[in-house]
Amino acid sequence: MTLLCTAQEGLPLYMQSEEGTVALRVPDHPQLLALLQKFDGLFSTSANSAGAPVPQLIEEVENEIMQMVDGVVLDKNEKKENVPSTILDCTGDRIKVVRQGAFSAEMIEKLIR
Protein backbone atom coordinates (compact mmCIF):
# COMPACT_ATOMS: atom_id res chain seq x y z
CA MET A 1 0.00 0.00 0.00
CA THR A 2 1.27 3.46 -0.89
CA LEU A 3 -0.29 6.60 0.55
CA LEU A 4 0.19 9.98 -1.13
CA CYS A 5 0.19 12.67 1.56
CA THR A 6 0.85 16.40 1.67
CA ALA A 7 4.52 16.89 2.54
CA GLN A 8 5.17 18.33 5.97
CA GLU A 9 6.81 21.75 6.06
CA GLY A 10 10.57 21.36 6.25
CA LEU A 11 10.70 18.04 4.40
CA PRO A 12 13.64 18.21 1.96
CA LEU A 13 12.55 19.01 -1.60
CA TYR A 14 14.23 15.88 -3.00
CA MET A 15 11.77 13.81 -0.97
CA GLN A 16 8.72 15.61 -2.38
CA SER A 17 6.96 15.52 -5.71
CA GLU A 18 6.56 18.70 -7.75
CA GLU A 19 3.04 18.90 -6.28
CA GLY A 20 4.40 18.99 -2.72
CA THR A 21 3.39 15.44 -1.84
CA VAL A 22 5.28 12.52 -0.39
CA ALA A 23 4.51 8.83 -0.95
CA LEU A 24 4.55 6.61 2.14
CA ARG A 25 4.83 2.92 1.30
CA VAL A 26 4.18 -0.07 3.53
CA PRO A 27 5.58 -3.17 1.81
CA ASP A 28 4.13 -6.67 2.02
CA HIS A 29 7.57 -8.23 2.23
CA PRO A 30 8.83 -9.92 5.44
CA GLN A 31 12.50 -9.02 4.95
CA LEU A 32 11.75 -5.37 4.16
CA LEU A 33 9.41 -5.11 7.15
CA ALA A 34 12.16 -6.56 9.38
CA LEU A 35 14.64 -4.01 7.97
CA LEU A 36 12.18 -1.15 8.55
CA GLN A 37 11.91 -2.12 12.25
CA LYS A 38 15.58 -1.17 12.65
CA PHE A 39 15.06 2.39 11.34
CA ASP A 40 12.65 5.28 11.81
CA GLY A 41 12.04 5.04 8.07
CA LEU A 42 13.86 4.52 4.82
CA PHE A 43 13.89 6.74 1.75
CA SER A 44 13.75 5.03 -1.60
CA THR A 45 12.60 5.49 -5.15
CA SER A 46 10.09 3.38 -7.00
CA ALA A 47 11.36 0.79 -9.44
CA ASN A 48 9.71 2.75 -12.25
CA SER A 49 9.00 6.34 -13.26
CA ALA A 50 5.44 7.61 -12.83
CA GLY A 51 3.24 6.12 -15.54
CA ALA A 52 5.87 3.63 -16.74
CA PRO A 53 5.22 -0.12 -16.58
CA VAL A 54 6.13 -1.83 -13.30
CA PRO A 55 9.27 -3.93 -13.92
CA GLN A 56 9.02 -7.65 -13.19
CA LEU A 57 12.78 -8.29 -13.44
CA ILE A 58 15.80 -6.29 -12.23
CA GLU A 59 16.92 -6.02 -15.87
CA GLU A 60 13.71 -4.09 -16.65
CA VAL A 61 14.44 -1.28 -14.15
CA GLU A 62 15.31 1.95 -15.94
CA ASN A 63 19.06 2.73 -16.11
CA GLU A 64 18.47 6.24 -14.70
CA ILE A 65 16.87 4.75 -11.59
CA MET A 66 19.62 2.15 -11.10
CA GLN A 67 22.25 4.91 -11.23
CA MET A 68 20.48 6.86 -8.44
CA VAL A 69 20.29 4.09 -5.83
CA ASP A 70 22.85 2.71 -3.40
CA GLY A 71 21.22 -0.68 -3.01
CA VAL A 72 18.54 -2.98 -4.37
CA VAL A 73 16.47 -5.56 -2.49
CA LEU A 74 15.66 -8.56 -4.67
CA ASP A 75 12.95 -11.07 -3.90
CA LYS A 76 14.28 -14.42 -5.05
CA ASN A 77 10.88 -16.08 -4.57
CA GLU A 78 10.04 -16.68 -8.23
CA LYS A 79 6.66 -18.19 -7.37
CA LYS A 80 5.37 -14.90 -5.97
CA GLU A 81 3.57 -12.68 -8.47
CA ASN A 82 4.93 -9.12 -8.55
CA VAL A 83 1.79 -7.09 -8.00
CA PRO A 84 2.31 -3.31 -7.79
CA SER A 85 1.19 -1.50 -4.68
CA THR A 86 -2.20 0.13 -4.51
CA ILE A 87 -1.72 3.91 -4.45
CA LEU A 88 -4.16 6.06 -2.49
CA ASP A 89 -4.19 9.86 -2.73
CA CYS A 90 -4.88 11.12 0.78
CA THR A 91 -4.23 14.82 0.05
CA GLY A 92 -7.84 15.92 -0.38
CA ASP A 93 -11.10 15.69 1.51
CA ARG A 94 -11.72 12.23 0.05
CA ILE A 95 -9.30 9.35 -0.47
CA LYS A 96 -8.87 8.56 -4.17
CA VAL A 97 -7.49 5.39 -5.74
CA VAL A 98 -4.66 6.44 -8.07
CA ARG A 99 -3.62 2.91 -8.99
CA GLN A 100 -5.33 -0.31 -8.02
CA GLY A 101 -2.76 -2.95 -7.23
CA ALA A 102 -2.49 -5.49 -4.44
CA PHE A 103 -5.63 -4.17 -2.70
CA SER A 104 -8.97 -4.11 -4.49
CA ALA A 105 -11.40 -1.20 -4.15
CA GLU A 106 -13.64 -3.43 -2.01
CA MET A 107 -10.79 -4.22 0.39
CA ILE A 108 -9.93 -0.53 0.68
CA GLU A 109 -13.53 0.43 1.43
CA LYS A 110 -13.62 -2.15 4.24
CA LEU A 111 -10.39 -0.78 5.70
CA ILE A 112 -11.62 2.81 5.60
CA ARG A 113 -14.91 1.98 7.31
pLDDT tens by residue, 66-111: 888 888 877 776 556 667 788 999 999 988 888 888 888 788 888 7
Using only C-alpha atoms, the chain has a radius of gyration, in whole angstroms, of: 15
**So what's the pLDDT on residue 43?**
78
**So what's the pLDDT on residue 78?**
57
**So what's the pLDDT on residue 40?**
81
Residue 23 exposed, middle or buried by CB count within 10 Å (0-12, 13-18, 19+): buried
**Hey, is 80 helix, strand or coil?**
coil
pLDDT tens by residue, 39-75: 887 777 677 777 788 787 888 888 988 888 888 877 7
